[in-house]
Amino acid sequence: MALAFRLDGGGEGPAAPRAGALTTDRGEVRTPAFMPVGTLATVKALTPDEVAATGASIALVNAYHLYLRPGHRLIESLGGVHRFMGWDGPILSDSGGYQVFSLARLLRVDDEGVRFRSHLDGSEHHYTPELAVEVQSALGVDIAMPLDHVLPGDTPTPDQRDAAERTLRWFDRSQALDPAPALFAIVQGGVDEELRRWHARELAAREAPGYAIGGLSVGESKAEQYAMTEVACRELPVDRPRYLMGVGSPEDLVHAVAASVDLFDCVLPTRLGRTGSLFTDDGRVNIKSARFRDCATPLDPDCDCMTCANYSAAYLNHLFRNDELLGYRLASIHNLRYIQRLCERMRAAILGGDFDAFADEFLARYQPADEAARTEQRARWQTRPRA
C-alpha cells in the first residue's frame, strides 16, 4: 500500500507543532487529523456519510473485534472492510493489542503471542503477530498496527521493559512479512523516560512508514502522558507520521500537537455524546441540565455541524430527557465535528505561525471535567520548553 507523508508547515524541531498531509491510495489526510473510531466497522449510530460530513477523512476499525465477529475471512470474501462498511476513504486498523489485554481472559503471554478466551463466547484463541497481520491484510486496510504488549500505566518498570522488548520482537516478525497495508511501529515503555526513549530509538532504526505512541491514557497522570508523548516524538524520524493512540480529549490533543503528533483516535467524542456530554470551547456541558430546557439557540453558535445548524439546545435537552435515539446521534455528530474543527483550527494556526498563541488562549479557556487536571495542564503548558 503506497503511503507518503509531507510537511506543509511548522515542525521546526523534533517535538514542535507541525501541519502535514498523509497520502494513501484512497485519498489524502491533512494533519493534525482525528480518526473516528468504528470498532466493529461502524462509528456507533452514524452512517459513513454522516461521519465524513463532520470533516473526517480517515476512519479506524479494530482487528481484534472483527477477527472474533464476524471474522476477517468473511469480510475479505465480501470485498474487504471498505466495501463492507461503505467507507471510501483510508482506514487504519488497530491490531487489538489493548483489547486482548483488557477485555479477554488471558491464559498465557509469551514471545509466541497471546492465548486468551474471547470476551464474547469464551472460545480459546492464539493471537500471534503473524495472525494480527493476516487479519488486517484480509480486511484490506490502508494502515495496520502490529500486535503489541500493553500494560497499565502504573506497571513497574521491569515489567514494562519486558513488554517493550517483546513488542520490539513482535514488530520485527510482523515487518518481516512485508504486509500489503503500511505497517506502523508502536512505541511502548510506560512512564519511564529512558525506557520510552530507548524503545523509540530502536523502532526508529527499523524505518517503519509511520510510528504510533501506545501505552498512554491507561491510568498514568496527565503530566506523565504529556511527558512520555514528547519523549517519544523527540526520538522519531521527522519525515514519518506520528500517531498517539487512544487519546481524544480536546486539551490532550492541543498538548500532543504541540509535541508534533499528527494523528489521533479515541471513542471519547461519541461515547460522551451518547451520555449527553457535549464539547464546547469552555469545556464539556451536560445537555440534560435544566438550564437548557428553554434555550432557543444552538448549543454552540460558533459550531457549523449539522446539529448546531438545525437544532436548538432545548430540543437536544428534550431528546435526552426522553431517551430518544436521535439525541445520541445528534450529540455524536456535534462532538465529532467539534474535534475535527479543533484539528482544522490547529492546522491553520500552525500554518499561520501562531500556534503558541492559539494554544495559550484555548487552554486558558477550556475547562476539563476535572479542575485539578485543568490546573496541572495549564501549569505544564506555561512552563514547557519552547524548542
| 94 is annotated as an active-site residue | yes
Helix and strand element counts for the chain (H, E): 16, 17
Tell which phi-psi region holds residue 103, choosing left (phi > 0), alpha (psi between -120 and 50) or beta.
alpha
Q: Which of 351, 372, 358, 222 is nearest to 281 (CA)?
A: 358
Q: Which of 148, 252, 262, 265 is catalytic?
A: 265
* Cell 445528534, residue located: 330
Output the nine-digit C-alpha cell for 207. 524505518
- What is the distance between the alpha carbons of residues 352 and 62, in angstroms, rounded to a whole number? 36
H or E element, residue 48: helix 48-53
**Residue 119 one-letter amino acid:** H
* Cell 512552563, residue located: 383
Residues 6+ apart with CB under 8 A from 345: 358
* Cell 526508529, residue located: 204
3-state class (DSSP) for residue 258: helix
| 282 is annotated as an active-site residue | no
H or E element, residue 187: strand 185-187
Are 265 and 60 a contacting pair, CB within 8 Å? yes
Q: Are strands 91-94 and 143-144 parallel, antiparallel or unpaired?
A: parallel
The CA–CA distances, whole Å, from 256 to 216, 223, 227, 307, 357 equal: 12, 12, 10, 28, 16
Backbone angles phi and psi of 65, in degrees to 5: -65, -40
Q: What does the DSSP 8-state code read for residue 158?
A: H
Q: Which of 94, 148, 192, 252 is catalytic?
A: 94
Output the nine-digit C-alpha cell for 339. 474535534
Output the nine-digit C-alpha cell for 189. 515503555
Q: Where are the alpha helices (DSSP H) in the chain?
A: 48-53, 63-68, 72-77, 81-85, 97-102, 129-139, 157-176, 193-204, 222-235, 250-258, 268-274, 306-310, 313-321, 325-351, 355-365, 371-383
Output the nine-digit C-alpha cell for 32. 493534525
- What is the distance between the alpha carbons of residues 110 and 323, in angstroms, rounded to a whole number? 46
Residues tagged active-site: 94, 265
